[in-house]
Structure formats: C-alpha cells, structure tokens
Structure 1
Amino acid sequence: MDRAGVVCGMTQVAYLLDTNVCIDFLLGRSARLAERMAAEFDRLSVSAVTAAELRVGNRGSSDPVGDLRRVDTFLALLNILPFDDAAAHTYAEMVRLVGGASSGGRPVDRSAGDGVGHGAGDAQRKGFRRYSRPDSGGLERMMTMAVRMVTLLGFLSILSAPAVAADARKIDAAIPEIDRLFADFQVDSHAPGLVYGIVSDGRLVHVKGFGAQDLVQKRPVTGDSLFRIASMTKAFTALSILKLREEGKLSLDDLAETYVPEMRGWTYATKDSPRIRIRDLLTHSAGFVDDNPWGDRQTPLPDADFTRMLEQGVPMSSAPATHYEYSNFGYALLGRIIANVSGMPYRRYVEQSLLTPLGMTSSGYQLSEWPAARRSLGYRWEDGRWKREPDMADGAFGAMGGLQTSANDYARWVAFLLSAWPPRDDAESGPVSRASVRMLAEGSNFMSVGQRNGKSGATACRQAAAYGFAMRIAQDCDLGLTLSHGGGYPGYGSHVMLMPDYGVGIFVFTNRTYNGGAGAAWDAAMLLQKAGALIARDVPVSPLLAQGYAAAGRIYASGDVLAARDNLAMNFLMDADAVHWGKRLAALKGEVGSCAVDAPLSATGNLSGKFTWTCEKGRVAGSLLLAPTADAEIQELKLEVKAP
C-alpha cells in the first residue's frame, strides 16, 4: 500500500472516520485491495449489506460503521496487534498529519463535502458522527490504534500473493467436478463429515462442507466447523522453532539437551551415536522409533508425567542422523523446547506468535474453550458402524497433533505459507520471515522415490521426496515443487498439499479416525492442472540478465562472438574460440536465416534464462548462463534449431 493509503487507514481508526470514505479512496487506488479490505470486514462481523456495498462501491448506507455489531469489536482486534518499533516510525508524522483535524471537540458534520470528492456521498450519511481531535492522552491512545490498523492492513498484504499465478476462471470451472470428488470420498470412506478448501492467489477461493459435525444433533459441516487436524499441527511447531531461531534464541544445530536437561543422561543406540540436535527432531531423524499408534493417544499427557518420562530415558531405535523414522515423541520434545526457550507454555507461544497475528481466531489447542455447537466430533468406523472417539484434552504432546481449527481459519495459514514464494524484495509482513517459511521445504538427506497420492499416481512419474521441517517435500513432474502433510488421529483425518510454483494449496479435514483424504486432495490438484488452472509465476528478468540477453542477440545478428567481447566471461573463448563460434553461427543462419532476437526471455534465475527466436525459415531455441562475477558476463550460450 502507498503512503496515502496508509494515512487513509490510520485516520479511519484514529477518528472513527466513515468506512466508505476510506473505501472510496482505496477503490480509486486498488480495487483488489478494497476487495480484500471488504473481506476482512466480513470476518469482523460487518453486516452482509455493508460488505456488499464495500465491494460494489454502493454508498447508500446511512450508518456504515454502525453496521458493525459494535465498533469496539473491530478495535478489540487492533488491540491484540503489536505496536512495535517499526510501527512507531510513523507515529510522529501521523500526529502532524491528522493533528489539524481538531474542531474544538465538537462532532463534525461533513455533509457539505470534504473537498476531496466525497460531498455527494457524505450527504447520504448525514447522521454519521465523526469526532474531532481528543485530548493529548486520548490522541496517543487513538494513534496507537491507528498504527495497529496499519498492522492489520499489512496482514491483508500477507494474503495477497506476490503475483497472480493460477487462473481463477479455470479454477471456478473445475469446482463442480472437484466437489463431486470430495463428496464421493466422504461417502465412500464413511466419514460423518468433511470440509475442504482451495487457496489461490492469497485467498480462500472455495470451501465446501459435506455431512455432519456430529451424529446426534446432525449439524451440517461448514467452513466454520472445528476439526482437529492431527499431525498437520507439526508445521506450527516447526515454524515456532524457526521463529525462535531467527530471533537468535536457538540454533537448529544446538543439542536438544541444551534446552531439555532431562535428556543429558540418556543412553544412545550405539557408543558412537551423536547427540540429538534440534534439526534431527524436526526431520524425524533423531533415532526414535515410529510411534504413530502409541503417540496419537498421548496428547493429554500431563507435563509432569512427560518430565518423568524424559528423566527415565527412552530406548532408541537407531543412531541419530542416520535415517528417517517418524516420531510424535520427537515433536513433543520440540514443544518442550519451545516452552523452555520462550518462557511460556507451548500452546500460548503458538497462539501469541502465529495464530493471533494471522487472524486465526477460531484456532487453538484446548477443546473446552470452544462452543460444542461448532465442534466436529470424532468417530471411528468399526464393525460396520460409527463409534464415538473420546475427546482428548491438551497436554504435553499437543505439539505433535493437538491443534483444532476451521477451514476458514486454516486457509489463512495456507495463504501465509504460500506467500513466502517466490523470494523477492518486498517488505516482510508476516509473523515469521518468508525465508524461514521456505525452510519448511528444506528436505533432509534421506531421500526416497515415491508414488503420487491419488488415482493418477499409478501412471504418473515417480516423485523424488524427502521429509523437510514438518512437511513432505516432493518434486512432481506435473505439479512442480509440492509440500504436503497428512494428519491421522483418533476421530480425525486431514491432509494439506501446497504448490508454491503456482500459489495454490488444497486441504481437507474429516471427523473419522485416520481418514486423511490425501488421494482426494491430490486428485483435486490434478483436476486443476488438467483444466489449465495452474500457471507458474514468471521469474522477473534481472538487469544483469537483460544485459546478457541483449549481448546474445548482438552475437547472433552479427555472426561474431567478438561483437559482444566485453560481455564474455574469461572461460567463454577458452571453451570454444571465435573461429569455431563463427562457423556455428554461419551454419545456424544458413539454416533458419535472420531471427527476431528481441523475443521475450524466460528467466530461470537472476543469472540464467531460456528463449526462442522466430526466424525467417524456422526457430532457434537458446539458453543463457551468466558468470558469478561483478559484471556477470556470459559464461555459456547455447543456440540450436528448434524443431517445428
């Protein structure tokens, strides 16, 4: 958002200005931003009428801010947002900018117009009262609120992908078939209820519920129904560790026993075993035994009992850092590390550091804190009928799988993760840096060859896969880089898969034991791919790459590499001299003739790219690779005739 937009947002809160004045302004600057702002007002309980007016630009409401159930509901959200040093940078200027608005403490009637093109609209809102400058103490409180408004508007930018990737219309066209896919899965898998969502371009573009939250009241599943997401919780734990790392409070290569002293006397699998590092816990390579059946029942374990378990030590399955073996116990240890380093209970740290900044107000760990009417109760399918699974309170193992959330809330998490790609120069706007989020995709050294989930997996090319930090990382020949994770838990199953190359994520929650829905999620991704809805983001062409590409064009046009002598790296003419290049260029030009060397360049990085030139008698395909030197000269240029 530009400076004027920030001023608009800040003054709206500082003086309780008419919502539509700011929306008028923002619509003139960015229709897309106004849409996002309207969506945020929806979440904060703006009436449907007012939300619709914000979107279409209708200025008919006589009291738009009054349409909020209470304006202090909106301000309450602002109160939980940080007023930090970065925000304070604009404080003094804002006092100056809005300080002149004082009218002696009297309500201001702007019905005659405000001098910036809003007179007619204000005439329709004559009853709306704006308050003039408060006393000095009140001004400081209001300015604090105002700066927090900027934080909220900054959060909206988190939900905006850096560039539009997926084709929204093609996604919409594929939705009916995807709905049928998940409807069939819900019935075929005997799930009482299911909800799934698709996130694209930073927002939840589709959410759909099927079945019932519970089998007694038979409340229908909606986007606000609450589900436990089991091991998909682990990503929140991993990102909390990465946040502590970027704050300088721990290192991934620190020994875990540094922060959990009960581990110091453990006996390892072999005498030459290395001590367990935090990194080993994150990648399930700490040497613990696979513990899915046992670990899933440990969520409510009291912290004191967990401490005694740690003091006694546990048998090791293997030496740490030698292979992958899934461990819920290891993630419970990470939860203990987070608590000990942060000085607060694990769940409080996640809520304060991740959930609250992302606006995930319907997410948490303790089931008793949420209305029963919103909860999807857990069941297992056994002996041809559903059986209720017992609810488990939050405890020492919550870090491995205890989070409860809704589809509408979880979509914010997915949008935040996807916003970390591609790397770029934009200011940071999330609770954790984009670089730290991308570390979730840093796979361990323990690679595997896997089959894609879903019906297409049997015939698809195999995936190269590894476990990263709470995500399974795979390169898929149709979907590109993927991050995914399932959740299996007594009463619940879930799955999420992210496609950062396209800015798209798909997730599914069910309330049946171990009924994750991975196949349906990946089948949905393939339906989007086949519909042409997944469009990779273009990599920007850097100035150095543009300079090198122009030199490549001069080389071909002249038929002589020495035409760009100053743009060639020291190895270039050593690998093939000017005479040899002259012969190759003459042969190419003899076959295809002159070419239009100003065709678009497809960057594959800041210093590399590919291109296709259209020529008199055909086409030339080429690639360009620059050297890691100050002037980034051309170290390699490839040119060949492109088949028709």
Structure 2
Amino acid sequence: MASDAEYIRFIKERGPILRDGARQWLELRSNLREIQFCGFKSLDQKHVDLWIFDPEYDSFGVARFKLGEKYGDKIEFIFTRLSDEHPAGTPQPPRLSQSMLVKAVRQRAADRAAKDRFSGAILLARNGRLLFQEAYGLADRAAGTPNRLDTQFRFGSMGKMLTAVGVMQLVEAGRVDLAAPIGTYLTDYPNLDTATKVTVAQLLSHTGGTGDIFGPEFEANKASLRDTSDYVSLYGSRAPEFSPGSRSSYSNYGFILLGRIIEKVSGLSYNEYIQRSILRPVGMTSTGNQPESIVLPRRAVSYMGSGARLKRADETLPLGGTSAGGDYSTVGDFQRFVAGLTSNRLLRRETLAKLVEGGVQTEDGQLARFDFGGSMPGAGRYIGHGGGAPGMSGLLLHSLDNGYTVIVLANRDPGTAESIALFAAHRLPAR
C-alpha cells in the first residue's frame, strides 16, 4: 500500500483537482477504494455527472466534475451527493421479512465493528415495539470504556428536528406565523433585507438564503459563541445570498435564527424551551447540551479519522450544541421523541402533517419541503433527520408508510451511522 505522501503525489500528477487539497484526498482515500462507477448521468460543456454506488452508504449517488476550459486542462472534482434516483436497470435492494431484517442489520453492524468501522448504538422498532437494540465499539478508547445503549452521543444536525417541532408548537399556539418575515419576531435584526424578506417558512425549508455558520469566521470566534444572540451578532449583518424563496441551499444559520425566534416569542432560552416543551413531556432525560468541558460519565468521546489517523475530535467541537444541532442523546431517547410525535403529544395531527408535507414553492416550480423528513426507496415517506461532523454521526428515520423506526448514533465521522441506518431503511418490509 502506498504511503500518504506517495498517494498525494500520484493524485497531484494524475488525479483531478480537489478544492480542499491533500487533506480532503486523505479523508476520501478509504471510501474511494470501494466506490463503484455505474455510468454517465449527464454531460454538458461545463460539467459531467457520473452515477456511483457507495457501499458505505448502501446508496447510489452522483459525482460531479467540472471540465477544463480548454483541451489538456485538468478536471476538478466538485462533489458527491446521495440520490433517491437509480441508474436505469439497476436492481433495488430486496425487501426483507422482519426477522431477516434484524438478522441482516445485526450482521452488517458486527462486520463493520470488527473492522473498527462502526462504533455506536442501533435501535430498530415498529409502531413503538422494540425489535432490536445493541451497542458496539468503545465510548472511550483510552479508558477501554465500551459503548452501551445508554451512552450519550453527539448528534449534529439531528437537533434540527427539535427546533422544527419547537417552532411548529408556537405556530400551533398562534404565536408564530410561518408566512411572516422574521423581523416580525426579531425586531432588532441587523440586516434589513433579511428581516423584511426572509420568512419563517423559508428558514424551515432552507430557502431564505441565510448561509452557513462554519468557516474562517466561526473558527476565529467559536470560543465566544455561546448562544443564538452571539451568532446573530457575528452573522446578522450579512445580506441574503440569493433572493429569498427563489431556491434551496442548506443553511445552518437559518436554524440558528429559528432558535432565536423561539427565544423571542417564548421568553425562554432555546435550551429551556426545548427542555420544557419537548424533552420533559416525552421523557428524554438523557438528552442535553452540557459543554465538552463538563465531564459526563455516559457521554462518548468523539473520534475523527480512521486507522493511524484516528484521534479525538475535541478541538473541532463547538462550546455546545445550538438550534442548528450538536447536542447529545441516546437511541432510546430518540425513540421516545418518535413516540411523542406519532402519539400527537408534541404536535396535533394536523400540525405534524403541515410540518411533514409543507414547504416553499421556489421559482422553478419545485416544492422545497420543510426540513423534517422526505422519502426514499424502502422506507417510503419518513420523518427524521441525519447529522454529522468530525467525530459524530447519526440518523433517525421513521417510516410513515409501515411504522418502522431506524435510529443509529455513532462517535465516529459522518457515514458511520448512515452505513447501518440506510442499509436497514432500504430493506424494510413492505408492510
């Protein structure tokens, strides 16, 4: 096997351009060994899109490359993304019986854990009845502490589900209007265009053009970013990146603003509101937002990288989670969250339906749905969300068509939990 230096030299000489350079190629190295190219999806003068199959995610996807302007120019690798579509003629994963599904998930998890490619916890249920739950790997590698079912894992953007439910509770109570511009509630918001043109619904559907929070500004200021008002102070003067409502672009900052709206309307801090209105009513006692500086005996250490490059991810972690995500929880607590939703203890039936089915019509006529679910082969229509950052990975899917719930949390990089959760979701029994 080539050394890292030999691998990077080969890529520089013969491979495509990669925007993030050597570091990103090293991160992609192990995954690229397994990716299967399945043919051309589309081609124009500027880009070529290739169908791929990624065994890590048990999913088809699209790899986009930017073509050079003239003959002999190197192509540039732009992105890979998962797709709900499949190349023509590609067989679908088989629908398994319930017992065979449990057996297959157990085997996949055991195989990956044995290769140190999975470390976390898994829960499968149907209509609230537990089918399978198990923990694998180590919560603290230095101490040799194993992961358990009550281990608390950081869950990244899965926290957006809590924010979305909190906003819809206030909509249900008549205290927030989805169609209202955010300046209705954030009366001192610094940028006038954002305050008057971006609506609550656009924040929920990532169509407000409010941008991200990560980058050089975040790295320079993260030690002082303690609550939603700190983020607004740092990013609030920015103008929208595009005409609000015209298109969709994932926005962590948009969910920070939703958290700020919850605070302004409720008179509580974001964490206090979520505790009172979501966590306590359904018994999510293992979910919280204590910073990394506070030692929690059941919280897993986050590990980034793999093999010889595996290390603690402490230095990359923010002070604590936000309304955009990053708190910690257990698979059991997230099952309680699903039970609270499906029993209409958190939202009335019609309000939940609005959150699941609603969205914003963009200029191209597409419906950008609120960020609370979707559809995929195998699972059909679902509610849920994924989350990931260095050292954390998670995915929750609850099928609205057949009542199955898949929850996986891991203390390793993005893709770790998805490798199990998507494998299960694609093979759910039809009924």
TM-score normalised by L of structure 2: 0.69
The one-letter code matched in structure 2 to 1:198 is: L
Residues 390 and 434 (structure 1), Cα distance of their counterparts in 2 relative to 1, 3 Å cut: same
Does 2:87 match 1:174? no
Q: Which amino acid aligns with 2:412?
A: R
Percent identity over paired residues: 27
The whole-number CA distance in structure 2 between the counterparts of 1:287 and 1:215 is 41
1:240 aligns with: 166
Look up the match of 1:408: 332
Equivalents in 1 of 2:401, 2:274: separation in Å?
Answer: 27
Are 2:197 and 1:275 aligned?
Answer: yes
| CA distance 1:344–1:316, shift in 2 (3 Å) | same
Q: 1:497 to 1:466 in 2, by over 3 A?
A: farther
Q: In structure 2, the residue corresponding to 1:362 is in which secondary structure?
A: coil
Is the counterpart of residue 441 in structure 1 residue 356 in structure 2?
yes
| Structure 1 position 344 matched with structure 2 position 268 | yes
Q: Superposition pairs for residues 178-197 of structure 1, below 5 Å?
A: 178-186=105-113, 190-191=117-118, 193-197=119-123
CA pair 173-306 structure 1, distance change in 2 beyond 3 A: closer
Checking the alignment, whether the CA contact within 8 Å between 2:392 and 2:410 is kept in structure 1 is yes
Residues 9-52 of structure 1 show CA distances to partners (whole Å, capped at 9, x for unaligned) of xxxxxxxxxxxxxxxxxxxxxxxxxxxxxxxxxxxxxxxxxxxx
Q: For residues 400 and 299 of structure 1, what CA distance do their matches in structure 2 show? A: 17
| 2:234 maps to which of 296, 306, 309 | 309
The 3 A distance-change label for structure 1 pair 403 and 184 is same
Which residue of 1 is the match for residue 207 of structure 2? 285
> What residue in structure 2 maps to residue 223 of structure 1?
149
- Answer 1 or 2: higher relative contact order, Cα 8 Å, separation at least 6: 2
* Whole-angstrom distance in 1 between the partners of 2:149 and 2:123: 8
Alignment of 1:328-367 (within 5 A): 328-367=252-291
Match of 2:379 among 479, 482, 488: 479
Report the Cα distance in structure 1 between the residues aligned to 2:395 and 2:416, rounded to whole angstroms: 5
Q: Is the 8 A contact 1:492 1:513 kept in 2?
A: yes
Q: Which amino acid aligns with 2:409?
A: F
Secondary structure at 1:332's aligned position in 2?
Answer: helix
2:65 paired residue number: none
What is residue 132 of structure 2 aligned with on the other side?
206
C-alpha distance in structure 2 between counterparts of 1:362 and 1:333, whole Å: 25
Q: What amino acid does structure 1 have at the position aligned with 2:202?
A: D
Q: Secondary structure at the match of 2:139?
A: coil
1 CA distance for matches of 2:298 and 2:106? 23
- Where 1:384 maps in the other structure, the secondary structure is helix
Q: Distance in 2 between matches of 1:438 and 1:348?
A: 26
Q: Aligned in 2, Cα 1:331/1:188: closer, same or farther, shift over 3 Å?
A: farther
* Paired residues of 1:495 and 1:507 also in contact (CA < 8 A): yes
Whole-angstrom CA distance in 2 between matches of 1:466 and 1:332: 23
Q: Secondary structure at the match of 1:473?
A: strand
Report what 1:266 is aligned to. Answer: 192
Where in structure 1 are there 5+ consecutive unaligned residues? 1-168, 421-427, 448-464, 536-644
Structure 2 counterpart SS, 1:527: coil
1:500 aligns with 2:400: yes
Matches of 2:238 and 2:357, distance apart in 1: 28
- 1:417-496 equivalent positions in 2, closer than 5 A: 417=341, 419=342, 430-445=345-360, 468-474=369-375, 476=377, 478-496=378-396
CA distance in 2, matches of 1:381, 1:173: 32
How far 1:485 sits from its partner (Å)?
2.1
SS at 2:208 equivalent: coil
CA distance in 2, matches of 1:474, 1:294: 35
Q: Please, what is the CA RMSD of the aligned residues?
A: 3.0
- Which of 401, 409, 413 is the matching residue for 1:513? 413
Report deviation, 1:182: 2.2
Give the Cα–Cα distance (whole angstroms) in 2 for the partners of residues 343 and 355 of structure 1. Answer: 18
Note if 1:320 corresponds to 2:244: yes
CA distance in 1, matches of 2:215, 2:112: 24
Cα distance, 1:413 vs structure 2: 1.1
Alignment pair present for 1:527 and 2:402: no
Distance (whole Å) between structure 2 residues aligned to residue 349 and residue 401 of structure 1? 15
Q: Matches of 1:471 and 1:180 in 2, distance apart?
A: 30
Cα separation, 2, equivalents of 1:194 and 1:293? 28
**Comparing 356-365 with 291-300, which one deviates more in the overlay?**
291-300
Partner deviation per Cα, 1:117-151 (whole Å, 9 max, x = no partner): xxxxxxxxxxxxxxxxxxxxxxxxxxxxxxxxxxx
Conserved in 2, the CA contact under 8 Å of 1:480 and 1:501?
yes
In 2 relative to 1, CA 486–502 (structure 1 residues): closer, same or farther, beyond 3 Å? same
Q: Distance in 1 between matches of 2:293 and 2:281?
A: 19
TM-superposed CA distance for 1:524, in Å, is 1.1
Q: Which has the higher strand share?
A: 2
* Larger-Rg structure: 1
Q: CA deviation at 1:373?
A: 2.3
Give me the whole-angstrom Cα distance separating, in 2, the residues matched to 1:199 and 1:388: 32
Q: How far apart, CA to CA, are the structure 2 residues paired with 1:209 and 1:237?
A: 27
Change (3 A) 1:523 1:466: farther
In structure 2, C-alpha distance between the alignment counterparts of 1:300 and 1:377, rounded to whole Å: 23
Following superposition, the deviation at residue 503 of structure 1 comes to 0.9
| 1:393 shift after superposition | 5.8
SS of equivalent to 2:140: coil
CA separation of 1:378 and 1:341: change in aligned 2, threshold 3 A? same
Equivalent-residue separation in structure 2 for 1:229 and 1:405 (angstroms): 7
Give, in whole Å, the separation in 2 of the partners of 1:331 and 1:295. 18
Kindly state the Cα deviation for residue 410 of structure 1 after the two structures are TM-superposed.
Answer: 1.3
Q: 1:340 to 1:291 in 2, by over 3 A?
A: closer
SS at match of 1:520: helix
What's the TM-score, normalizing by structure 1?
Answer: 0.47
**How far is the alpha carbon of 1:445 from its aligned partner?**
4.8
The one-letter code matched in structure 1 to 2:372 is M
Distance 1:328 1:205, change over 3 A: same
**Shift of residue 199, structure 1, vs aligned partner:** 2.2
Task: Report what 1:399 is aligned to.
Answer: 323
Change in CA separation of 1:248 and 1:267 when aligned onto 2, cut-off 3 Å = closer
Partner of 2:71: none
Contact 1:255 1:275 in 2 (8 A): yes
Cα contact 2:287–2:330 (8 A) shared by 1: yes
Question: Alignment partner of 2:314: what SS?
Answer: coil
The one-character-per-residue Cα deviations of 1:598-622 (angstroms, maximum 9, x if unpaired) are xxxxxxxxxxxxxxxxxxxxxxxxx
Q: In structure 2, how many angstroms separate the alpha carbons of the residues matched to 1:431 and 1:481? A: 20
Question: CA separation of 1:174/1:480 partners in 2, compared to 1, >3 Å: closer, same or farther?
Answer: closer
Paired with 2:223 and 2:279, the residues of 1 have a C-alpha distance of 20
Does residue 257 of the first structure (1) align with residue 183 of the second (2)?
yes
Q: How many residues align?
A: 329
Q: CA deviation at 1:188?
A: 5.4
CA distance in 1, matches of 2:391, 2:217: 14
Residues 291 and 326 of structure 1 are in contact (CA less than 8 Å); yes or no, is this contact kept in structure 2?
no
- Answer whether contact 1:190 1:381 (CA < 8 A) is retained: no
AA in 1 matched with 2:199: R
Amino acid in the other structure paired with 1:474: S
Letter in structure 1 aligned against 2:386: G
2:367 and 2:135 map into 1 onto residues whose CA distance is 32
Tell whether the 8 Å contact from 2:397 to 2:407 is kept in structure 1 after alignment. Answer: yes
